Amino acid sequence: MFAFTLFVLFVFFILYKLLLIVPMREVNVIERLGKFRTVLQPGFHFLIPFFDRVAYKHEIREQVLDVPPQSCISKDNTQLEVDGLVYLKVMDGKLASYGIEDYRRAAVNLAQTTMRSEIGKLSLSQTFSERDSLNESIVREIDKASDPWGIKVLRYEIKNITPSRKVIHTLEKQMEAERSKRAEITLANAEKAAMINLSEGERQEAINLSEGEKQRRINEAKGTAQEIAIVARAKAEGMELVSAALAKDGGNEAMNMQLKEQFITQVGKILAEADVSVVPAELAKIEGFFEGMEQVTNAVSANSVKGAR
């Protein structure tokens, strides 16, 4: 019974060494008597017991490796701490097994050295604003160096870029100064715009006042011209009426009577309003005045009659 048990165990051991199932997520590197034989892809395989063995197993899915933080110096001599993530995939199981001892550790170390070199080419501001180009440069350099290792570096991502405390303090002061500068520029632009609007308003006000004054003078001139024309027409019509009245019978006598009444009225006003009493030196002169006015009236009437003929 003991011998049968040993036999069964031996058979199972032989089958275990003979049969090999490779999972879908990996490849196995087989060595025969210490030498590389083949790379087994996922599936069911047979091995020669005691001759063939699985020397290496490699994950063929995309792997994510954490790159620890490290100190870097930028182009403008600023100290930074940078960490990231590198994404890679095993493309050749044989090279990944025999091309390098540990491709994971090698990829992380290569990412660190490449990152230090690339950041040394950029200034502090460029390291923040040009992350995409920095990542592409690191991927390109790592992929070129890792090609003999049978792996493919798919991408690299910078997680954090942390300046030193002194640099952060300096950046905060710089940002505060920049904000103050922008605020002063904004206030200056607002004041400038206000002054421009005020001057434009004053200019428009002056234009409106001058236009109003111009229109007022034009209206006054038109009014004065119309007034002069009306007065002239009225005087002309009055003269025509007077001439017509003098041409009629009894016109001269009526004119003389009218002139006498007006003279007496005006003399009465002068005597009433004057501070000094005014008395004609010779009352006879008044009669001479009326006779002279009568002669003038007769002359005017004669001229009017001749003009009418």
Amino acid occupying residue 35: K
Residue 51 has φ and ψ, to the nearest 5°, of -110, -45
Structural domains in the chain (count) = 2
Nearest C-alpha neighbor of 62 from the set 40, 83, 86: 86
Among residues 142, 139, 152, the alpha carbon closest in space to that of 61 is found at 152
Q: Is 179 a member of any domain?
A: no
Does some domain include residue 241? no
Whether residues 158 and 81 share a domain: the answer is yes
Position 284 scores a pLDDT of: 44
Report how far residue 180's alpha carbon sits from residue 182's, in angstroms, rounded to the nearest whole number. Answer: 5
Question: Could you say which of 146, 163, 180 is where a domain stops?
Answer: 163
Please report whether residue 112 resides in a domain: yes
107: domain CATH number? 3.30.479.30
Q: What is the pLDDT along the chain (309 residues), one digit of tens a residue?
A: 677 677 667 666 676 667 778 888 889 998 888 888 888 888 888 888 878 888 888 888 999 999 898 888 888 888 888 888 999 999 888 888 888 888 899 989 988 888 888 888 888 878 877 888 888 888 888 888 888 888 888 888 888 888 877 777 777 788 888 888 888 898 889 989 899 998 888 888 888 888 888 888 888 888 888 888 888 888 777 777 767 766 666 666 666 766 667 777 776 677 667 665 555 544 445 555 555 656 655 665 565 545 445
Judge whether 301 and 259 are in contact, CB under 8 Å: no
Position 136 in a domain: yes
Would residue 36 count as lying in a domain?
yes
DSSP letter string, 6-56: HHHHHHHHHHHHHEEEE-TTEEEEEEETTEEEEEEPSEEEE--TTTEEEEE
188 is a domain residue? no
Q: What is the pLDDT of residue 303?
A: 58
Residues 120 and 139 in one domain: yes
Q: Which of 35, 39, 123 is nearest to 76 (CA)?
A: 123
Tokens, residue 8: 């069964």
State which H helix or E strand residue 145 sits in: helix 131-146
Burial of 110 (0-12, 13-18, 19+ CB in 10 A): buried
**By three-state DSSP, how is residue 63 classified?**
strand
104, part of any domain: yes
List the one residue out of 94, 67, 81, 42 whose CA is nearest residue 153: 67
186 occurs within a structural domain: no
pLDDT of res. 7: 63
Q: Nearest-5° angle of CA 24, CA 28, CA 33? A: 155
Q: Do 32 and 71 belong together in one domain?
A: no
Domain range for 49: 17-58
Pair (21, 106) in one structural domain: no
